[in-house]
Amino acid sequence: MGSEESAALVRRGYEAFSAGDMDTLRDIFTEDAKWHAAGNGPISGVKQGRDEILAYFGELGSRSNGSMKVTVEDVTVGDRYTVGIQLTRAERDGKTLDERQVIVFSVSDGKVTEGIEMSEDTSKAADFWS
């Protein structure tokens, strides 16, 4: 898979996430994919397998009462990784999350095999999701 295809796959994933399209997200990830959620908060840590990843995405929506919005600022592709830079906004229990995040994607054979999520301020994110 070339760099243009990897970037298109990641953009398709962002669109599906924003639309709550779990069927498309299920199709984008390999069954044994890994997702590394940044920080040390209650939802941080490694999500092993597509089902755990999708459950994590659902939990983000649930914990934010559906307020979470992701705006893609850029998608760039290197020799080994595709990187998404996003602005994440959400409200929860009187708190607001408004920060930039970076997700490093590994893509193989047209599917995402791993995502490594990094937050601008992991302490703020952990506080928000707690």
| Mean per-residue pLDDT pooled into runs of 10, the chain (130 residues) | 88 96 97 94 94 96 95 95 97 94 96 96 89
d(CA 67, CA 74): 22
Phi, psi of 39 (to 5 degrees): 90, -165
Please give the pLDDT value at position 3.
87
Please give the pLDDT value at position 56.
96
What's the pTM? 0.93
Hey, which bits of 38-110 come out as E strands?
45-48, 69-77, 82-92, 95-108
Please give the pLDDT value at position 81.
96
